[in-house]
C-alpha cells in the first residue's frame, strides 16, 4: 500500500511539473557562453567604497535623476517620487504616481519624465503636477514602461520592457519565456505622437542617447546585449548590436554626456539559466518549481563603463558582505556615480577613482 501511495505522489508531482498551466510559452534560443570574470572583467572590490543614503520609510529606488541644481530624485516602490536636496535639507515628496516609477529623466524644460511600470510615460512639472503622456502604441498597451531618456529637443526615447508581462508578473517571466515582447519607442510631446523604433526585443530595459544624439542604445536584458538604433547619418533607421555577450544581466544604462555609457548589471550571469536556454520544456518545469528552487540572481555589485566605440573603460565590482545590489541604474554627476536599486531601502554614491573602503550614512 505504501508503494502505491508513493507512486501516486510521484505521478501527481510529475504531472504538476510537466502539465500544470503556466503563463509562459518558452522559446528555444542559444545563450552564448558567459565570459569569465577575468581580464577586462576581472573581479575587484571597487564598489566596496560607496556611500549609501537611506530612503527612510520606503525602498526600491530603481533610478536616480539629477536636476540642474544637483538635487537627487528617486522613485519608491509605492509610487512616491522624493527629492534629496543638494543643500542637505530633509528630503521632500514631489509627487506620487500611484504606480511604480522606474526610469527617470529631466527634459529641457525641467519637467521630470517618468517611465512608470503601470502608468506608462508621465511628465511631472516642477510644481508636482502629473500629466500622462503616452500609454499605448498601435493598439498595444504598454505592459511594462521601464526607462526613458530625453534628447536636447525634448523628444523622449523609452522602453516598453514587455507588452505581455507587466511589473506584477515580474521581469523573470519575460526572461524565462524569451518571447521578444520588448519595444523601443520614440515620443514627441510637441506632436503628442508615439512611434515604434524597434520591437521583438528580449525585455527592453535601460535606454541612453549618445553624446551627439546620433544613436540610442537599449539594453536587452534577456539576451545579455546592448542594441544600437541609428538616428542620424547613412544608417538612420537601422539597428545593430553595440555590445554582445555581457558578463552579467543588463538593467539600466545612461550616458554621462561626454562619451561614456554606464551599464548597471543586475547580477552576474546564471549558469543554470543559460544552460536551459535551448530547453523550453525544462524552463516550463523550472517555472513550476518553488521560487527558491528557480534560477536566482547573485547578490553582487557590478557596473561597466563603455565608450561610444563599445570598448570597456571601467569595471567596478564588489562581492563582499553588505554589497549594494542589485544595481539597476547608474547616473554620473561630476565625479560621482549615483547607483539605484530595484529592492534596496537606499541608494548609493561612488566617487570615481576613490580608494577601497566603505561608508554608511543615513538621511
Domain membership of residue 22 (yes or no) is: no
* Residue 121 within any structural domain of the chain: no
Range(s) of the domain holding residue 250: 38-72+143-148+159-361
pTM: 0.93
Asked if the structure places residue 274 within a domain, the reply is yes
Classify residue 84: in a domain, yes or no: no
Q: Which residues make beta-bridge pairs with 296?
A: none
Question: Does 103 fall in a domain?
Answer: no
In a domain? residue 55: yes
- Alpha-carbon span 71 to 83, nearest angstrom: 7
| pLDDT score of 54 | 85
Q: What is the CA radius of gyration of the chain?
A: 21
CA distances from 215 to 136, 254, 273, 282 (A): 24, 13, 31, 38
Q: What is the pLDDT of residue 16?
A: 46
Residue 1: all three cell numbers together: 500500500
Q: How many domains does the chain have?
A: 1
Q: Mark out the alpha helices in 138-246 (DSSP H runs).
A: 170-177
The rounded distance, in Å, linking the Cα atoms of 56 and 93 is 12
Does residue 133 fall inside a structural domain? no
CA end-to-end span of the chain: 64
**Local structure of 269: helix, strand or coil:** coil
Residue tagged 533610478 (cell numbers): 63
What's 250's domain CATH number?
2.120.10.30
Per-residue pLDDT of the chain (363 residues; tens, 9 = 90+): 666 665 545 554 555 455 456 789 999 999 999 999 999 999 999 999 999 988 888 899 999 999 999 999 999 999 999 999 876 668 899 999 999 999 999 999 999 999 999 999 999 999 999 999 999 999 899 999 999 999 999 999 999 999 999 997 679 999 999 999 999 999 999 999 999 999 999 999 999 999 999 999 999 999 999 999 999 999 999 999 999 999 999 999 999 999 999 999 999 999 999 999 999 999 999 988 888 888 889 999 999 999 999 999 999 999 999 999 999 999 999 999 999 999 999 999 999 986 544 443 333
Let me know if residue 154 belongs to a domain. Answer: no
Amino acid at each position: 500500500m505504501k508503494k502505491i501511495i508513493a507512486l501516486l505522489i510521484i505521478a501527481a508531482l510529475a504531472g504538476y511539473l510537466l502539465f500544470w498551466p503556466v503563463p509562459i510559452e518558452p522559446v528555444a534560443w542559444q545563450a552564448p557562453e558567459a565570459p569569465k570574470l577575468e581580464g577586462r572583467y576581472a573581479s575587484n572590490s571597487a564598489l566596496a567604497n560607496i556611500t549609501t543614503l537611506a530612503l527612510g520609510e520606503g525602498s526600491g529606488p530603481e533610478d536616480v535623476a539629477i536636476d540642474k541644481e544637483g538635487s537627487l530624485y528617486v522613485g519608491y516602490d509605492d509610487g512616491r517620487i522624493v527629492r534629496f536636496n543638494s543643500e542637505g535639507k530633509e528630503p521632500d515628496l514631489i509627487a506620487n504616481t500611484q504606480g511604480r516609477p522606474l526610469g527617470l529623466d529631466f527634459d529641457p524644460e525641467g519637467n521630470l519624465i517618468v517611465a512608470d511600470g503601470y502608468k506608462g510615460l508621465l511628465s511631472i512639472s516642477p510644481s508636482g503636477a502629473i500629466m500622462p503622456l503616452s500609454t499605448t502604441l498601435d493598439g498595444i498597451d504598454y505592459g511594462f514602461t521601464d526607462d526613458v531618456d530625453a534628447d536636447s529637443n525634448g523628444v523622449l526615447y523609452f522602453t516598453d520592457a514587455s507588452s505581455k508581462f507587466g511589473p506584477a508578473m515580474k521581469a523573470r517571466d519575460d526572461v524565462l519565456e524569451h518571447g521578444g515582447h520588448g519595444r523601443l519607442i520614440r515620443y514627441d510631446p510637441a506632436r503628442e505622437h508615439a512611434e515604434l523604433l524597434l520591437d521583438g526585443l528580449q525585455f527592453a530595459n535601460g535606454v541612453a542617447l549618445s553624446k551627439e544624439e546620433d544613436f540610442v542604445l537599449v539594453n536587452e536584458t534577456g539576451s545579455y546585449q546592448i542594441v544600437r538604433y541609428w538616428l542620424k547619418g547613412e544608417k538612420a533607421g537601422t539597428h545593430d548590436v553595440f555590445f554582445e555577450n555581457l558578463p552579467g544581466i543588463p538593467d539600466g544604462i545612461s550616458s554621462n554626456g561626454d562619451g561614456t555609457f554606464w551599464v548597471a548589471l543586475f547580477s552576474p550571469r546564471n549558469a543554470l539559466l543559460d544552460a536551459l536556454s535551448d530547453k523550453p520544456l525544462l524552463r516550463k518545469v523550472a517555472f513550476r518549481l518553488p521560487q527558491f528552487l528557480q534560477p536566482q540572481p547573485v547578490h553582487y555589485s557590478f557596473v561597466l563603463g563603455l565608450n561610444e566605440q563599445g570598448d570597456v573603460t571601467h569595471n567596478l565590482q564588489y562581492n563582499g558582505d553588505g554589497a549594494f545590489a542589485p544595481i539597476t541604474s547608474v547616473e554620473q554627476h561630476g565625479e560621482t556615480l549615483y547607483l539605484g536599486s530595484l529592492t534596496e531601502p537606499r541608494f548609493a554614491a561612488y566617487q570615481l577613482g576613490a580608494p577601497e573602503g566603505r561608508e554608511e550614512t543615513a538621511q
